Each structure stands twice: as C-alpha cells, then as structure tokens.
C-alpha cells in the first residue's frame, strides 16, 4: 500500500471523533469523507444532515456538492432549507458541526470570506454559506484544514464563523447554544483548546512530523501540551475504505 497522504490521516483522525448515533451537520470535502468513513466503521447509525436539506443521507458515491442527488436517494427525510436552519440547526438537533475554511486563528475563529480588506479584497473567498450558524448552534465544532503560516495566521482579516472569538470567550455573553470548537485537525497535528485561555494547544502530532515543522507552519507561538502524543496512523482497513470506496478518483485526497 502506498504511503499515507496528509489528507488520509486528517480524514481518519476526524472519523474517530464521531460516535454512533450522533447527528452531524456535514460540509463538503474532507468532512464528508470523514463522516462516511465513520459510518462504515464505528458509527453505522451516524445521522448525516446536509444544509441542502438531506437528513439521514447515505450517499452511495462521493458527492461533489452538498446538494448531490445521491444524498436524497434512501435518506430518512428531505426538508426545505427553512427547516434545515430553523428547526434542525437552531432547534438544537445537531451534535457535531464539521467546518473547513481558508484561515483559522488561535481562538478557533474561521475566515472563509476574504483575505485583505472586505471592500478591496486580495482574495475574495466564497463566504459563509451555513458555516456561521453551524459554528453558533452545533453542540461542538470540529475544524479541518491544512496548516501553514497563511492558513493559521496570527490574525485573520474577517471572522466568518466564530470560535471562542477572543481570550474572554464572549460566546457565553452572547448566549450561543453551542460550546464552540473542540478540535482542529490539520495535516501536521491535532489541536484542542485551553479551558482558561481558549487558545489552540497542540495535543497530537502526526507520525513522522517534526515539532519544528509545527512551529514553522503556525503564525503565532503555538502552545504545546505537556503530554503530546503521536496521532494513530490510519489502519489498512481505513485506507482501503477511503481509497477503494469513498474517494477512488482522489477528488479530495490527491
């Protein structure tokens, strides 16, 4: 079997976080792969909800978009987007929200809107979609992105989806229903958040990644957990499911 790609380790690590029976609001790309991998392993009763209105989806192919017809066939329910956002999400039905983004800061705030000034962008990104409200309402958030100094910068230009916002965690003051991000999974390691400072803390490092590489690819002086462990490498079974069934054309895992 070929060597494990960064995408594969991100997907397998993320899949491990999902418990059987949980309700997950699924985004496109790596989150989608992680949810479908978990469904094939420890969480056959994971309920996948897509913002397009597919509830309890069981996609038989890798959907390119979150509105793919394969999400409808054999699902539990198809609801309008009014129901998806007002009843399922704001109604408090979602256990886990999975988000990506172009940039994440140390407090788990996500930018998927703009690099540079909003009015005169250096790079105009797609914007929120449902990400902002997913980050507010899901009981917990898992963030997945590849890391470097640009994707984990010292400061982000725009908060699309709030994490802990700053060191005082104004989520509590805003009475946000969800507790916020619990995990950031990158191609180099896994971060949790300090209960006191609400900052990202490196808790796992992927096999073969030197600590210097974490430092070189983070835009601030990142805190490192005293009990830093090594991420469990993907098993043969996990890799087989990903490579043969979930993403055989390597659309997301090049």
Q: Which residues are catalytic?
A: 51
Interaction of residue 172 with other proteins, rule CB under 8 A:
no
Q: Which of 4, 23, 41, 72 binds other proteins (CB under 8 A)?
A: 72
Residue 10 CB, shortest distance to other proteins, in Å, is: 17
H/E stretch holding 211 reads helix 211-216
The one among 20, 42, 80, 230 contacting other proteins by CB under 8 A: 80
Pairing mode, if any, of strands 96-99 and 140-144? parallel
CA dihedral for 45, 49, 50, 55, sign (positive or negative): positive
For residue 79, the minimal CB distance to other proteins (Å) is 8
Contact status, residue 179 vs residue 192, Cβ threshold 8 Å: no
Residue 128 interacts with other proteins (CB under 8 A): yes or no: yes
Q: Is 79 in the site for other proteins (CB under 8 A)?
A: yes
- Candidate ranges 71-79, 143-151, 201-209, 232-240; the one touching other proteins (CB under 8 A): 71-79
CA-based end-to-end distance of the chain: 15
Question: Tokens 């009014």 map to which residue?
Answer: 82
**Binding characters for other proteins, 177-216, by CB under 8 A (x = yes):** x---------------------------------------
**In the numeric block, which tokens belong to residue 247?**
């993403």
**Residue count of the chain:** 254
Shortest CB 206 distance to other proteins, Å? 25
For residue 122, give every residue at least 6 positions away whose Cβ sits within 8 Å of its Cβ, in sequence order, or none: 115, 116
Nearest distance from C-beta of residue 111 to other proteins, angstroms: 8
- Chain centroid to Cα 177, Å, comes to 18
Per CB under 8 A, contacts with other proteins among 7-36 are: 28-29
Residue 154: C-alpha distances to residues 24, 77, 105, 237 (Å): 30, 42, 6, 38
Piece in contact with other proteins (CB under 8 A), picked from 3-11, 79-87, 186-194, 201-209: 79-87
Distance CA 113, CA 127 (A): 4
Asked if 129 is part of the footprint of other proteins (rule: CB under 8 A), the reply reads yes
* Nearer Cβ to other proteins (175/226): 175
Are the beta carbons of 61 and 105 closer than 8 angstroms?
Answer: no
Query: Which residue ranges make up the site for other proteins (CB under 8 A)?
Result: 28-29, 51-54, 63-69, 71-73, 78-82, 85-86, 89-90, 109, 113, 118, 121, 124-133, 136-137, 158-162, 165, 170-171, 174-177, 251
């Amino acid at each position: 079997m070929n060597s494990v790609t960064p995408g594969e380790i991100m997907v397998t690590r993320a899949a491990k976080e999902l418990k059987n029976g949980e309700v997950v609001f699924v985004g496109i790309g790596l989150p989608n792969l992680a949810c479908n991998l978990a469904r094939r392993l420890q969480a056959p009763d994971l309920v996948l909800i897509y913002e397009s209105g597919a509830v309890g989806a069981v996609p038989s192919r890798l959907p390119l978009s979150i509105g793919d017809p394969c999400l409808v066939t054999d699902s539990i329910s198809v609801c309008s987007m009014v129901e998806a956002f007002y009843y399922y999400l704001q109604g408090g039905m979602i256990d886990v929200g999975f988000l990506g983004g172009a940039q994440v800061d140390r407090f788990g705030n996500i930018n998927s809107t703009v690099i540079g000034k909003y009015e005169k962008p250096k790079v105009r990104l797609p914007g929120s979609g449902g990400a902002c409200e997913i980050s507010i309402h899901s009981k917990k958030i898992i963030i997945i992105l590849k890391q470097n100094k640009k994707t984990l910068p010292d400061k982000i230009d725009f908060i699309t989806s709030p994490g802990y916002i700053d060191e005082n965690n104004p989520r509590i003051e805003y009475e946000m229903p969800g507790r916020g991000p619990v995990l950031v999974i990158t191609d180099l390691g896994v971060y949790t958040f300090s209960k006191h400072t609400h900052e990202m803390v490196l808790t796992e490092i992927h096999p073969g990644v030197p600590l210097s590489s974490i430092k070189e690819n983070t835009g601030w002086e990142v805190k490192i957990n005293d009990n830093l462990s090594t991420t469990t490498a993907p098993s043969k079974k996990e890799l087989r499911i990903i490579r043969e069934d979930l993403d055989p054309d390597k659309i997301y895992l090049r």
